[in-house]
A and B are shown apart, each in its own frame.
Chain A
Amino acid sequence: MNNFFLAMALFLVLNILAGLWRVLKGPNPADRMVAAQLFGTTGVATLLLLAQALESPFIRNAALLFALLTVMTVLAFIRNTSYRLPEDEHNENL
């Protein structure tokens, strides 16, 4: 039974590797963020399967964390493109 879950986890990791192709090729940055978001969710699923396969229940906390934190990276991406942080470019003469 555990071997089946391990096989599923392996299948999902292969999915992530396949998705990497989009990160490499992705014409504009938003595509890469889409891929990163998908990897986040696939990572959550893999961690849950591994938690079941390796009988270590506390990995589920890590999966919970991943589900929460992928949003932050996307928020940072949005922050940095729609509103640039107030950097005074070269006129800074501290």
Chain B
Amino acid sequence: MTTVIIYALTATTLFSVGLYGFAIHPDLIRKIVSLNIMAGGAFLFLISLAYHTGSPEVDPVPQAMVLTGIVVTISATAFALCLARRIKEKTGQCLLEHRRKDTET
């Protein structure tokens, strides 16, 4: 039981730290990295439940969910990075709110 508690607490901490990082950083790349930390937290919570079933064999359903989640997260991250790169090319800034000094094309 204690293993579950430790990893579930780590999971919620990761989620909260990722949420804070997502909110605090104006830079796009830092926001996307924080989102991946949030995803790591959510997956860790699911797998700590899977381990908790006590039976030596770990519950396969959360594992399948996390596998699907990993592939979904990597494709969403790749799409977001491509958008961020395109914004940088267009506006010379990789920020969501453009500082006045930029050259708005």
Decide if B2 is an interface residue (CB 8 Å cutoff): no
| Residue B90 at the chain A interface, CB threshold 8 Å | yes
Number of B residues, CB within 8 Å of A: 8
CB closest residue in chain B, given A93 = B105
- Chain A residues with CB below 8 A from B103, complex form: 90
Q: Interface majority SS on B: helix, strand, loop or mixed?
A: helix
A87-B85, A87-B88, A90-B91 provided; 14 other pairs, C-beta below 8 A? A87-B89, A88-B89, A89-B89, A89-B92, A90-B89, A90-B92, A90-B103, A90-B105, A92-B89, A92-B90, A92-B105, A93-B105, A94-B89, A94-B90
A-side contacts of B88, CB under 8 Å: 87
Give B residues with C-beta under 8 Å from A: 85, 88-92, 103, 105
Bound-complex Cα distance A94 to B9 (A) = 47
**A residues in contact with B92, CB < 8 Å:** 89-90
Which positions 51-94 of chain A face chain B at CB distance < 8 Å? 87-90, 92-94
A92 proximity list for chain B (CB < 8 A): 89-90, 105
Cα A93 to Cα B88 in complex, Å, equals: 12
Bound form: Cα–Cα A30–B92 in Å: 26
CA distance A92 to B85 in the complex (A): 12
Max chain A Cβ within 10 angstroms of own Cβ: one of B88, B89, B91, B103: B89
Bound-complex Cα distance A88 to B86 (A)? 11
Closest to B93 in A: A90
